[in-house]
Structure 1
Amino acid sequence: MSIDPSSIPNFGAQPGPQPTGGPAGPVVPDQDLVKQLLEQMELKYVVDDEGDLAAPWEEFRTYFMFRGEEDQQVFSVRTFYDRPHSIDDKLALLETIDDWNRRTLWPKVYTHTHDDGAVRLIGEAQMLIGTGVALEHFVSSTVSWVRASIEFDKWLVEQLGLEKDADAAEGDDEGDAPGDDA
């Protein structure tokens, strides 16, 4: 099975040619199909030590995982946001991501508190694929989930003013140590 490049949604761009032909029935997606889709989206990817496919960005990593038994198999797109947050900021962070979760379909975002007290965010979307899905549905959902994961990171930076924090940290690197009020 292969992906017709015209079937990849272009969200916001002028509509391209509509896909024609393709499989008559449902397909059961696999890692090779996801690799092909990522290549067509011009996204770099790696396969980790556990055999999961991951697309790395500067501030997060998105994994494309297949889990479960054959007839109950689930395809999961899970994004791990690398930016650490303080445990003291967790309540405000939860309120912010609750707002995102109420307003959007995906990714659904939750927190994970590490042993060192750092709070990180994880976004996730899932699809039951064990009995097969329409190829067009699989492609459009996967593309939408990847784009929404990127949009969430941008939205969070804007909501929490993290862009200003990053700019201030760059200024600190130029001679002033954090906390110096000389």
Structure 2
Amino acid sequence: MSIDPSSIPNFGGQPEPQPQGPAGPVLPDQDLVKQLLDQMELKYVVDEEGDLAAPWEQFRTYFMFRGEADQAVFSVRTFYDRPHKIDEKAQLLESVDDWNRRTLWPKVYTHTHDDGTVRLIGEAQMLIGTGVDINHFVSSTVSWVRAAIEFDKWLVEQLGLEPDADQADQGEQGEAPEDGAE
């Protein structure tokens, strides 16, 4: 199965064309996601665990397939690399709660590391085990990637953080690791 290039929503705010795909449900896989990322002109790597990841300067978005048969799940999970201090966690949680109330995705939560730094993780999931409409899969995946980028920009504004040089360039991706691993 392939994705019609005209079906890929752009990031420039133009109206999104309606995707045209195969009739009936499809079972998405990593190759389909790679095609989609290629058509979106996003860099990606496959990590040592076999998961597909698109790296940006301050975060990495993973495209993962988990589960078997009719319980399979497609998960788009973003790991935000900007460290926060443990004493900032209360303010961070207030901001994350506000984001989660206002938006559908990604749902964002905190993770406190052993060294006391707090990082954020965003996540959206779709059940795919019985198959999904290709149009729904493409539009959801693109929306989730767009929302992951927007969350990082939003958090910088909310907390008065220093934006990256890349954020000034509208969320361009950072360089992919040369060895293909994170």
TM-score, normalisation: structure 1: 0.86
What displacement does 1:7 show? 1.5
Aligned equivalents of 2:160 and 2:114: distance in 1?
26
Tell me which residue corresponds to 2:175.
Answer: none
Tell me which residue corresponds to 1:5.
Answer: 5
What displacement does 1:8 show? 1.5
Matched residue type, 1:74: V
Tell me which residue corresponds to 1:70.
Answer: 69
Aligned equivalents of 1:92 and 1:14: distance in 2?
36
* Deviation by residue 1:33-60 (Cα, 9 ceiling, x = unmatched): 0000000000000000000000000000
Tell me which residue corresponds to 1:30.
Answer: 29
CA contact 2:10–2:40 (8 Å) conserved in 1 = no
Tell me which residue corresponds to 2:136.
Answer: 137
Q: Please identify the structure whose Cα radius of gyration is greater.
A: 1
Matches within 5 A, 1:1-182: 1-10=1-10, 12-16=13-17, 18-20=18-20, 22-163=21-162
What displacement does 1:19 show? 3.9
Instruction: Please give the secondary structure, in 1, of the residue aligned with 2:153.
Output: helix
Aligned equivalents of 1:24 and 1:42: distance in 2?
26
**Shift in CA distance, 15/144, structure 1 to aligned 2, threshold 3 Å:** closer
Instruction: Please give the secondary structure, in 1, of the residue aligned with 2:32.
Output: helix
Matched residue type, 1:51: G
Aligned equivalents of 1:29 and 1:131: distance in 2?
10
Aligned equivalents of 2:4 and 2:134: distance in 1?
10
What CA RMSD, in Å, does the superposition of the two structures yield over aligned residues? 1.5
Matched residue type, 2:52: L
What displacement does 1:151 show? 0.2
Aligned equivalents of 2:147 and 2:16: distance in 1?
20
Matched residue type, 1:79: T
Matched residue type, 2:76: V
* Deviation by residue 1:9-29 (Cα, 9 ceiling, x = unmatched): 23620454x444x31110000
Which structure 2 residue ranges, 5 or more long, are not aligned? Answer: 166-182
Aligned equivalents of 1:70 and 1:7: distance in 2?
28
**Shift in CA distance, 5/109, structure 1 to aligned 2, threshold 3 Å:** same
Which structure 1 residue ranges, 5 or more long, are not aligned? Answer: 168-182
Matched residue type, 1:86: K
* Deviation by residue 1:62-87 (Cα, 9 ceiling, x = unmatched): 00000011210000000000000000
Instruction: Please give the secondary structure, in 1, of the residue aligned with 2:130.
Output: coil
Higher relative CO (Cα under 8 Å, sequence separation at least 6) belongs to: 2
TM-score, normalisation: structure 2: 0.86
Aligned equivalents of 2:100 and 2:19: distance in 1?
32
Aligned equivalents of 1:137 and 1:46: distance in 2?
24
Q: Calculate percent identity across the aligned residue pairs.
A: 85
